[in-house]
Amino acid sequence: MPHAEPPVAGPAAKIDGPLRIPAATREHPVWLRVGALLDGVSSSPRADAHIVYDRRSILFAGADLPPRNLIADGRSAPDLDLPGFTLLPGLIEAHAHFFLEGGELDLEKRAAYLEQSPQQLLRLAIPRLEKLARLGIAGVRDAGDKHGVGLALSRLNAGADRPLMPYVDSPGAAIHHRGRYGSFMAEPLEDFPSPAACVASRVQAGAHRIKLIPTGIINFKKGAVTASPQMTTDEMRALVSAARSLGRQTLAHASGDEGIERAIDGGVDSIEHGFFVRGDQLARMRDRNIAWVPTFAPVQKQIDHAARMGWDAEVVSHLRRILDAHAASLRTAHAIGVTIIAGSDAGSLGVAHGVDFLYELELMERAGLPPLAVLNAATGSGSQRLAFRESFGRIEPGFQSRFLLTRHSPLETVSNLRKPRSVVFDGALLESAGNLDPAGL
């Protein structure tokens, strides 16, 4: 809409120190102009773009001047003109386990940690929330726990007095077969008379989605998934059908081509990990709109801490081979149009919440994904595909005012997200000057 008397963006002021952005309110929205705007989904940035937002949501984003009715009374130029800055959406961590402390590498301490009560695990998880928000993480998809920590955090998020925290949704306890992999985060299908009854129990407990565990994990000593899948294709289909009938998506822990095959044929919404996925399977994932969350970090951490883990040169060679093949699969997935969503598997051994999500993004770039594709995988791809109950992860009108501002362009390398940056979270400015201490994460 043209302006009879258009606002005028004045000369850009040089910003040397921390940004000073006024807090946005419903009555007084904030208007910024930035050198580059990444909306979370587009294949190129918008140059010299404007954004207007209040405490609750983005009101305008684009290259044109914003309409006058969205600008605070009397305003004729942006609150800040930031030609040297990039603005991008708040990040979405799509695979994390809040009940686990990932930064702890001592196996005995990790085992003792899990001996604590659900109330103690929740008490330790809550302080992570503000740290994640200050890192610029707008939302987290918890990937399952049988202790109810993720569900409790999601209820905290929905409360009237919620603390500074990202959006959290959770499947509650994952679903596995008794005696097979996953007992630390799952409850068995055998506890219920049917797959539909099992899914219904999860939904009744508050699950936002249903987590399935159709396979085991990689045998690092052998360099392969050596255990047969623990769910049949028919079981997968029954669980997925029950979830969809109740309006819930499914995510499937799956590695090894046989288990991945069953997950694809079962019709899940996303495949988590996906090590040893074949090219033809990626093509069918694309055609069936099954997203992939590749989680490089937990395997890379085994290499990073090989001596502490007790791995010899042969095991390390297996790990490198696995990651090289995973990187090739990621490049193929990107080239053919699979929906790629970033998740770190935070909480797994050595993978700290928040800080190692940034590491995951670096690993995706190292694997050959262009920086913008990595950033979209960490923002808009999850926002579009995962059907969260709140709108975040994109710079569009109606989405929450949660975003990052940085003078260190992540389009050069996503590692620049580790450098000092500013986080706007629900309209308020949070300084995030490179605080990447993994303690307690």
What's the structural domain count of the chain? 2
SS3 content of the chain, % helix, strand, coil (to 5): 35, 20, 45
- 22 in a domain, yes or no? no
Nearest to 118 by CA among 89, 152, 84: 152
- 17 in a domain, yes or no? no
pTM for the structure as a whole: 0.95
Same domain? 264 vs 253: yes
Is 69 buried (19+), middle (13-18) or exposed (0-12) by CB count in 10 A? exposed
Q: Which two structure tokens, joined as six digits, stand for 346? A: 């935070």
Same domain? 77 vs 210: no
Same domain? 180 vs 48: no
**Per-residue pLDDT tens digits for 299-314:** 999 999 999 999 999 9
- 440 in a domain, yes or no? no
Same domain? 102 vs 193: yes
**Per-residue pLDDT tens digits for 262-317:** 999 999 999 999 999 999 999 999 999 999 999 999 999 999 999 999 999 999 99
**Per-residue pLDDT tens digits for 211-226:** 999 999 999 999 999 9
- 19 in a domain, yes or no? no
Same domain? 334 vs 351: yes
Domain encompassing residue 40: 30-89+394-432
- 63 in a domain, yes or no? yes
- pLDDT at position 75 is 79
Same domain? 338 vs 370: yes
Residue 70 is part of a domain; what is its CATH number? 2.30.40.10
Residue 336 is part of a domain; what is its CATH number? 3.20.20.140
Same domain? 262 vs 177: yes
**Per-residue pLDDT tens digits for 35-57:** 999 999 999 999 999 999 999 99
Same domain? 84 vs 161: no
Same domain? 106 vs 190: yes
- 216 in a domain, yes or no? yes
Q: How far is CA 13 from CA 1, 17, 22, 34, 348, in A?
A: 28, 12, 16, 12, 45
Same domain? 168 vs 269: yes
Same domain? 344 vs 225: yes
DSSP secondary structure letters along 219-238: BTTTTB--SPPSS-HHHHHH
Residue 5 pLDDT class (50, 70, 90 cuts): very low
Same domain? 190 vs 76: no
- 13 in a domain, yes or no? no
- 1 in a domain, yes or no? no
